[in-house]
Structure 1
Amino acid sequence: MSLRVAIMTDETGWHTGRLRKAFRARGVEARCVDLADCRIDTTWKPHGLAIPGFGHALPDAAFVRGIAGGTFEQVTLRLGILHALRESGVPVYNDARAIERSVDKSMTSFLLNRYGVPTPATWAGESAAHAQRVLMREAAAGRQVVMKPLFGSQGKGLMKPGVSLPALEAFSQVAYLQRYVDAGENGFDWRVLVIGGRAVAAMKRVGGEDWIHNFARGARCEPAELTPALAEISVRATQALGLDYAGVDLIPSEGGRPVVLEVNGVAAWRGLQTVTPLDIATLLVDDLLDRKLAASKGQLALAGNHERV
């Protein structure tokens, strides 16, 4: 019987098409599944999990390509499905714990700093008074600060507030502030893709809207040399968050030293694919099957041997 993999996504398109093709090439049946259609059902024997397209069985593995936004309760339940799959012995790539760390910018910053990964100074809290003091202190030192939504991607909602803190209502009552790193007049940032503990490809994102370099906001993708420094920092950032694969966003600081701005645990790669000859979907699928799934099967076999003893 061939392996069956669930591609967890709320929309099908270019990325899921590439993944399904790569799975097919390995003789694996891949089905796209919306987490919103899954459910925890303790009467659904034998696992208590109902995954559309898999009947009463579970997939051999799950690849998380997208998690739709929603209410706090909806997102919690969708992540709960991923937690439940892992608890049921299904390898999840990336699993819910790692995604939660990368989606929450404050936890990302905390973990990067904790594990010594170069990243800009960051402050996150609910006190508007404290955030205002940070802005004034940074301005007095001749520095700027970027304010970001705690959750979000593609450069949406970013602003440089100067010395006047905007109302926190627009940021869900949380102030996430990060020291601005000026990339210069011809500014750019890097996106490095890390798969299975190895940096595999890099690009520069040049231009875009003002100081925000993002492919979704008009930035131009250009090939970039994957230097040892870029690779080493990106791998360390991915390991700090416990991710199987990640898109790591970095920017050159003074002297050209790269620092990590964000780590994307549900990374898109369409822009990167345009500037690298590597088949990224194939690399992802191979890592899931040959490393993650193989390790899971090895653990199950070891557990079975212990039980027999």
Structure 2
Amino acid sequence: MKGWLIVNGFLNSEKFEEIYDWLIKAALQQGIELRKLTNDQVGSILPISPKNTSWKEKPDFVLFWDKDVYLAKTLEKEGFKLYNCAEAIETCDDKALTFIKLKDTDIKMPKTYVAPMTFDKEYKDYTFLLQVEGNVGYPMIIKENKGSFGEQVYMVNNYYEAVEKIKNIEHHEFIMQEYVESSKGKDVRIHVVGGKVVTAMERVNENDFRANITNGGSMKKYTPTKEQEKMAVEVCEKLKLDFAGVDIMFGKEGEPILCEANSNAHFKNIYDCTKVNVADEIMKFIKKDCKTDN
């Protein structure tokens, strides 16, 4: 069995390279030859039109470890089997789309409002903010639609802070959410592969409302409740995710509240915490799923 590992050609980081190496090694253990290719390498050989029917050798699958949605959709048009699929990646990479996709389900989320689109970098009228604050109050969480490691997530304590923050993020689209105080600085990261929970950890940060390890949080092995497991699996099912890291907050009574889902969640931290190698679980699932399709 052969596969392509698509990564971003413009991310030069030891942290990312380590993840890619783990995936390639996990593939070898399953008897899979996984070839790493960057999105700029692959994109340059894919015609937009007409459909390329002259592939000399196509992989059995593509492990798409990037957020280049246009490339993912193009590969699917060419008949490639992607893990995760383009739709799932696109939805997870946009917090507004994630909320919209799950809006009419029984998955509990914070009250969320999508900021109105503007053609200018700065809003000329903030009436919408007054309407939102009346429903969610302060503190309020403002999240840029696209962001990672909690770096584009902000807390504002009043109208003036909110306006200033919105001005600072300029043209970036964003959502506004109620602050879940009962989960301040803590959440649960649950890794799901093939519809099953494979490992989980609790993240705690005493000095920040965000629990992310990159923001100074600590981690410990965690056994999720049945309700948390059910939510994590259901989120993946609804978003068409073959694998994901699902972040769940704690409600006032301990009930699970969805924070977000990550289509290509880093798994080095959770390995250090739990000794479960998510890369192994992903490659086992892909191997089984590809054989089932054939």
Structure 1 length-normalised TM: 0.81
Specify the alignment match of 1:82 in structure 2. 72
Number of corresponding residues: 274
Structure 1, unaligned stretches of length 5 or more? 49-54, 68-77, 298-309
**Of 30, 36, 47, which aligns to 1:41?**
47
- Runs of 4 or more above 4 Å deviation: 42-46
Q: Kindly provide the amino acid, as one letter, of the partner of residue 108 in structure 2.
A: P
Q: CA deviation at 1:214?
A: 0.3
Q: CA deviation at 1:43?
A: 8.8
Q: How does 1:175-214 map to 2 (within 5 A)?
A: 175-183=174-182, 187-207=185-205, 209-214=207-212
CA RMSD of aligned residues (A): 2.3
Q: Kindly provide the amino acid, as one letter, of the partner of residue 260 in structure 2.
A: E
Task: Note if 1:119 corresponds to 2:109.
Answer: yes
Specify the alignment match of 2:34 in structure 1. 30
Secondary structure of the structure 1 residue equivalent to 2:274: coil
Specify the alignment match of 2:58 in structure 1. 58
Post-superposition Cα deviations, 1:145-170, rounded to whole Å, max 9, x if no partner, equal: 20010111111122222231325341
Once residues 202 and 120 of structure 1 are traced to their aligned partners in structure 2, the CA distance between those partners, rounded to angstroms, is 22
- Cα–Cα, structure 1 residues 44 and 174, in superposed 2: closer, same or farther, change >3 Å? closer
Percent identity reads: 22
Q: Kindly provide the amino acid, as one letter, of the partner of residue 181 in structure 2.
A: D
- Cα–Cα, structure 1 residues 31 and 111, in superposed 2: closer, same or farther, change >3 Å? same
Q: Kindly provide the amino acid, as one letter, of the partner of residue 144 in structure 2.
A: P
- Cα–Cα, structure 1 residues 101 and 46, in superposed 2: closer, same or farther, change >3 Å? closer
Once residues 220 and 264 of structure 2 are traced to their aligned partners in structure 1, the CA distance between those partners, rounded to angstroms, is 21
Specify the alignment match of 2:123 in structure 1. none
Name which of structure 1's ranges 264-273 and 169-178 shifts more when overlaid on structure 2.
169-178
- Cα–Cα, structure 1 residues 173 and 271, in superposed 2: closer, same or farther, change >3 Å? closer
Structure 2 length-normalised TM: 0.85
Post-superposition Cα deviations, 1:35-80, rounded to whole Å, max 9, x if no partner, equal: 12223226999537xxxxxx7432211112233xxxxxxxxxx423
Task: Note if 1:98 corresponds to 2:104.
Answer: no
Q: Is the 8 A contact 2:60 2:81 kept in 1?
A: yes
Specify the alignment match of 2:221 in structure 1. 223
Q: CA deviation at 1:245?
A: 0.6
Q: How does 1:1-309 map to 2 (within 5 A)?
A: 3-10=1-8, 11=11, 13-39=17-43, 40-41=46-47, 46-47=52-53, 56-67=56-67, 78-126=68-116, 128-139=126-137, 143-164=138-159, 165-167=162-164, 168-169=166-167, 170-172=169-171, 174-183=173-182, 187-207=185-205, 209-291=207-289, 293-297=290-294
Q: CA deviation at 1:208?
A: 6.2
Structure 2, unaligned stretches of length 5 or more? 118-125
Q: Is the 8 A contact 2:136 2:177 kept in 1?
A: no
Name which of structure 1's ranges 173-182 and 18-27 shifts more when overlaid on structure 2.
173-182
Secondary structure of the structure 1 residue equivalent to 2:154: coil
Q: Kindly provide the amino acid, as one letter, of the partner of residue 155 in structure 1.
A: G
- Cα–Cα, structure 1 residues 173 and 42, in superposed 2: closer, same or farther, change >3 Å? closer
Q: Kindly provide the amino acid, as one letter, of the partner of residue 118 in structure 1.
A: K
Secondary structure of the structure 2 residue equivalent to 1:183: helix
